[in-house]
Structure 1
Amino acid sequence: MVSIGIVFLVVFLALMTGIGIWGMRKTKTLGDFFLGGRTMGPWVSAVAYGTSYFSAVIFIGFAGAQGWQFGLNALWIALGNALIGACAAWVVLARRTRRMTQNLDAMTMPEFLQKRYGAKHLKPVAASVIFFFLLPYSASVFKGLGHLFEAVFHIPYDLALLIMIAFTGVYLILGGYFAIAITDFIQGIIMFFGAAAMILVLSGQGGGILEMIRKVAENYPVHVPPERQPSALTIVSLVFMTSFGTWGLPQMTQKFYAIKNEAVIPRAAVVTTVFALMIGIAAYLTGAYAHVFFDLTTVPQNEAGILYDSIIPTLLTNQFIGNLQLLLALILLLVLSASMSTLSSLVLVSSSSVAIDLYPSQVDSKTGKDRSVAMMRLLSALFIIVSYFISRFQIGFIVTLMSLSWGVVSGAFAAPYILGLYHRRITKAGAYAGLITGLVTEIVLFFVLGSARSPLAASFAIVVPFIVVPLVSRFTSPPEKQFLDKVFEGI
């Protein structure tokens, strides 16, 4: 299987590199590099959104942990991700985001917030939040891929890390968003069919999907007694964090900036929803299937307890044997695809926090070339190198930043961004208050409630600013009508 996997890997990485070189020819301006010139069609836009949504975390760690702890209730996460995180996001946010960012000539979340509210210092503050919390998150994805390569392909962790960083860097630095979108589309196809094959084969080994679901429902209370089962509040907060929480993540909203036109949106919403349903159900149902393929004596564990990150890899290794080795290689490629697509989006958004938001655009007077493109490429390379060192040397406070990342970023941005799209009365002071409130709420509750209840902390961090922003705006001076007419033109 290792030899088959390596062949798949070499072909896959060669294809990604080729697309990066092709994308370089289409990348002339900063807008081309970061948004693909705002020319993305429905299929590419939809799949790019979906592949940025799901990474190796869902297949390796998240699905194993939630599938075992939640049983079939983990499927509520998949449903919420598809209907709220994917479909509703496109319906509610895409049109207004595309039009308003074009009205304001904004390419990033910090730039949008600054121009939407006329807030001089909001952009560097928002850019700093992205830099400090998304960069460590991207490093954690690199780390997960390194361990996957080490376990499956028997490549030393350090070498695996270097290979992943090198190839991600090549197609991202050369081709920018255009290369990311095209590679995301190819990776998305691999993810979709790999996920479908995985769940069909596993279901077939247990008598079909309905029979497997019956067995999970029967075994779950034996493996996880009622007193240890998660509460309804835990399930709801997890669904909310992973579904509505994505509405405030810059790497997700960037996909709306880049679409060709508004006619793309309805088809993209349908494609993204179908994609998210397939990936989410396949991942969490596989996690729940652990209650059929394992019992309390065979589930991966050590003296400290169950090894949730090992449940899915062990399950797949045990079940995909003999003639199924080729399919296992495809599924490993699925995990790799999920991670590389998420990773490239994270690095692009993180590097933009400096190259676009903190570095003024400069056009060479002689050649007419935008020097910011070179700066963006340089910073993308630098951020990838920094990600390597973060992945290689796990420092205590950086690990904490990784754990905080989702709640902090979404809590800081969701309310100022979403309310700014819909309400003319939201003020600069309200936007500042919302960003700071989300940031502080997440950090305080994370340490008060503990990492085990981090979804609840993140949910509060996202919700509280939706109360604070309108309240502060109510008692502060509204923006000028002429300014708002420009912002909301055509909306």
Structure 2
Amino acid sequence: MDLISIILVIFYLMVTGYLGYLGYQRTKTAADYLVAGRSANPIVMALSYGATFISTSAIVGFGGTAASLGMGVLWLTVLNIFVGIFIAFVFLGNPTRRMGHHLDAHTFPELIAKRYDSRFLQVACALIIFCFMPLYAMAVMVGGAEFMAPIFHISYNGALYIFAIIVAAYVIAGGLKGVMLTDALQGAIMLVGMAVLLFATYGLLGGVTEAHTALGAMKDEVPGFLKAIGHQGWTAMPKFGFAAPGTPMPGAVGYHMWWVLVSTIVMGVGIGVLAQPQLIVRFMTVKSKQALNRATAAGGIFILFMTGVAFTVGALSNVYFAQREQITCQVVDDAALLDPGPDGKGKLTLVPANATDEVKARAKRFVSYRLPGAGEDAALNYVLWTDKTEILHGPGGATDVLKPHLIAVLRSVGPGTTLQGNTDTLIPAYVRSALPHWFGVVFMLTLLSAAMSTMSSQFHTMGTALGRDVFEQYGHHEHGSKSIHITRFAIIVGIVVALVLGKYVRGNIIALATAIFMGLCASSFLPLFVLGLFWRRMTKPAAVASLLVGFLTSGFWLLFVNGKTAAGIGLSQAWFGKPNLVPATWSLTWTVVDPIVVALPLSLLTAVVVALITRPMDKSYVDYVYGGPKPSA
């Protein structure tokens, strides 16, 4: 990393630290710390909402997913804008703001508790947030670390530690005022970085029409393992269907990609955003409906630019990797393995003994190379060798030029992996390979901003969940300052948990972990939250039942039905001797259906049915909740 890059990063961190200090100076009360004094500027609020929503998870994780699945991921952008901005701001924002202000609620669990007059709901919501939000925070950390480690020339674990320390410093000190000020700065940096990324990509690929035409023409280059699960090219949606019970392979998995894309990626995140505690609390930081209205347009433009660019560039990276990538390097495979041929192009002749059958069928072996100036002790880089790979050797030991000619998902494959590779590395690899070094620095700041803005809000939400929503509910209301200390301690615990997860869970995890957490929040919180805002007949027992049904159904599905999560966690294998509990008489497609498809409808149905069969809440209390005077004790 050169001196200019280091200076830019240090300057950015100094400005971030100064904004955190301003937040600290302006934090005088619990309301300042928890909801920014309820007087946030609408543009700051919109940028904070967007920067909190959009993280390295969206840019790196879902951008890499788009490189694998194609332009169909843009349906998530549609839902992000229509649901995450339009419905959230226009229909939910003002009722949430009004009820939160009237009930003097400072956190999402506290809002739910005061709506239903239930301490149990406050503690239950807080514990779900505190226990499971580290999964989402881990996804954001991994996304940042995958890009930052090679830029800083440090280890992946070292990048995780740097993120954690920087974010912890200003969240612990500045509260939500500090978080929102830094979010606004980071959101502005993210807009600039993504704008440059989009224009640079189209310029590199010959223009908008040429880039998309080239991507559409690559339909025949979809590898067999993706075709088998329904991939029909990067400009088309996957095959839609539901395999009949007993369908033999490969037909049994022929529709898997559609269900992963639509139920997990699009629905899990697109709907789950409505029930994100760290986003809902943003509505309680502005003082009027007019301020919310002014924030709507800014939020929509921000989300369109951030997700639309990340997903479009992710899919288009296939054109670059397959047709244009040239790596100036030093190929370090033993010379005996190279057959230069009459045209000077190297051809590797060996296949590793431990390669999978599919790798053997597609590749002679991995090409290992080292970037110029990296030093003999630097870690090697690898690309798959196929019959299209070219190595142009420099004369007299000069640098070589390697042309991998690989689609994006195969570009992410390294030794010891399967052909699925690690899509979390694709956007960082594209930026480092395709774009000039100066943009790598700009994009590094973009990702640092995206990661820090989201992680700061995540850890702030985790901390308040334990400090305000659990600690204060057990007879500690009078210890306000002590509650803030507990909140700050909880932030540290959340950071440590996310760090540990990030160290040991890596590879194709960012999009999955994000979708799991957002889907869990939607199934657990969304019915009781939305019905609580608009339906006076909604009752405490209905809210409790809805929460339990949504949470337990999601948990059961993740542990015992969903093929990837059930196998990864291993509880089904340990208890029942099989990777999941889907009966042989069921369609294998059920193993890729996201929990939200089942859990959210069950949670909503439970809320409505239980509300209708239980006694209505006291009318005077319900009137108070919706803006009336507080009932006498």
TM-score, normalised via structure 2 length: 0.72
Aligned counterpart, 2:126: 127
Q: Of 437, 446, 450, which aligns to 2:563?
A: 450
| Matched-pair contact (CA < 8 Å) for 2:66–2:73 | yes
Q: What are the superposed Cα offsets for residues 133-167 of structure 1, whole Å, 9 maximum, x if unpaired? A: 00232234234433432222112334333322221
Match of 2:48 in 1: 48
The reply to whether residue 260 of structure 1 matches residue 287 of structure 2 is yes
Partner of residue 485 from structure 2, selected from 374, 379, 394: 374
Higher mean C-alpha deviation, range 461-470 or range 476-485? 461-470
Contact kept? 1:404, 1:443, Cα under 8 Å? no
Question: For the Cα contact (< 8 Å) 2:275–2:525, is it kept in 1?
Answer: yes
Which aligned pairs between 1:240-319 and structure 2 lie closer than 5 A?
240-295=267-322, 297-299=405-407, 300=411, 301-302=413-414, 303-307=417-421, 308-319=423-434
- Comparing 341-350 with 71-80, greater Cα deviation is found at 71-80
Shift of 1:205: 1.2
Asked whether 1:485 is paired with 2:623, we answer yes
Letter in 2 for 1:312: I
2:532 to 412, 420, 426: 420
Give the stretch that moved more between structures: 383-392 or 275-284.
383-392
Contact 1:4 1:326 in 2 (8 A): no
What is the Cα deviation at residue 67 of structure 1? 3.1
**Counterpart Cα distance in 1 of 2:483 and 2:119:** 21
Q: CA deviation at 1:126?
A: 1.3
Specify the alignment match of 1:325 in structure 2. 437
In 1: Cα distance, 2:478 partner to 2:6 partner: 44
Q: Distance in 1 between matches of 2:599 and 2:518?
A: 10
CA contact (8 A) 1:434 1:466 kept: yes
Match in the other structure for 1:188: 187
**Shift in Å at residue 209 of structure 1?**
1.5
CA–CA separation in structure 2 for the residues paired with 1:333 and 1:61: 17
Residue type at the aligned position of 1:17? G
Paired position in structure 1 for 2:470: 358
Paired residues of 1:72 and 1:216 also in contact (CA < 8 A): no
1:473 aligns with 2:584: no
Contact 1:203 1:212 in 2 (8 A): yes
Q: 1:454 to 1:41 in 2, by over 3 A?
A: farther
**Cα separation, partners in 2 of 1:2 and 1:408, compared to 1, 3 Å:** farther
SS in 2 for 1:177: helix
Residues 156-175 of structure 1 mapped to structure 2, 5 A cutoff: 156-175=155-174
Closer, same or farther: CA 339–439 of 1 in aligned 2, 3 Å:
same
Following TM superposition, by how much is the alpha carbon of 1:334 offset from its aligned partner in structure 2, in angstroms? Answer: 0.8
CA RMSD of aligned residues (A): 2.5
On the 8 A contact 1:438/1:465 being kept in 2, the answer is yes
- More divergent stretch after superposition (76-85 vs 276-285): 76-85
- Judge conservation of contact 2:9–2:445 (CA < 8 Å) in 1: yes
Aligned residue for 2:561, secondary structure, equals helix
Question: C-alpha separation between the residues in 1 aligned to 2:103 and 2:193?
Answer: 41
> Displacement, 1:358?
1.1
**1:39 corresponds to 2:39:** yes
The superposition leaves residues 248-286 of structure 1 with CA deviations (integer Å, 9 ceiling, x where unpaired) of: 110111111111221111111111000000001100001
Per-residue deviation, 1:290:
2.1
Distance in 2, matches of 1:313 and 1:81, equals 23
Aligned to 1:341: 453
SS in 1 for 2:536: coil
Unpaired stretches in structure 2, ≥5 consecutive residues: 232-237, 241-257, 323-385, 387-404, 566-590, 629-633
Give, as a single letter, the amino acid of the residue that structure 2 aligns with 1:28: K
Partner residue in 1 for 2:16: 16
Are 1:239 and 2:347 counterparts? no
Maintained 8 Å contact 1:131/1:350? yes
Q: 1:298 corresponds to which letter in structure 2?
A: L
CA distance in 1, matches of 2:88, 2:149: 37
| CA drift at 1:403 | 7.2
The amino acid that maps onto 1:209 is V
Shift of 1:451: 3.1
Q: CA deviation at 1:2?
A: 4.5
CA contact (8 A) 2:191 2:305 kept: yes
1:464 and 2:605 are equivalent in the alignment: no
TM-score, normalising length: structure 1: 0.91
Distance 2:450 2:219 in 1: 28
Residue 547 of structure 2 is matched in structure 1 by 435
- CA shift for structure 1 position 414: 0.8
**Structure with max Cα Rg:** 2
Task: Determine helix, strand or coil for the equivalent of 1:424.
Answer: coil
Q: CA deviation at 1:169?
A: 1.4
Please give the per-residue CA displacement for 1:96-126, whole angstroms capped at 9, x wherever unaligned: 0001112222111221221111223111111
Of 78-87 and 20-29, more deviation after overlay is shown by 78-87
Work out whether residues 411 and 438 of structure 1, in 8 Å CA contact, stay in contact via their aligned partners in 2.
yes
- Counterpart of 1:29 in structure 2: which amino acid? T
- Alpha-carbon spacing, 1:171–1:14, altered in 2? closer, same or farther (3 Å): same
Provide the identity percentage.
28
Conservation of the 8 A alpha-carbon contact between 1:408 and 1:442: yes
Tell me which residue corresponds to 1:146. 145
Q: 1:391 to 1:67 in 2, by over 3 A?
A: closer
Q: Residue 409 of structure 1 aligns with which residue?
A: 521
One-letter identity of the residue aligned with 1:316: V
Say if 1:101 and 1:257, in contact at 8 Å, map to a contact too: yes
Aligned residues: 481
Pair 1:291–1:146, CA change in 2 (3 A): closer
Could you tell me how far apart the structure 1 residues matched to 2:295 and 2:514 are?
A: 30
Question: Any conservation in 1 of the 2:64–2:427 contact (CA below 8 Å)?
Answer: yes
Give the deviation of 1:17 after TM superposition: 1.1
Maintained 8 Å contact 1:91/1:266: yes
1:372 Cα deviation after fit: 2.8
Deviation at 1:9, TM superposition (A): 1.6
| Closer, same or farther: CA 126–371 of 1 in aligned 2, 3 Å | same
Correspondence for 1:27: 27
Superposition pairs of residues 197-236 of structure 1, within 5 angstroms: 197-223=196-222, 228-229=230-231, 230-232=238-240, 234=259, 235-236=261-262
Distance 1:265 1:348 in 2: 22
Matching residue's letter, 2:217: E
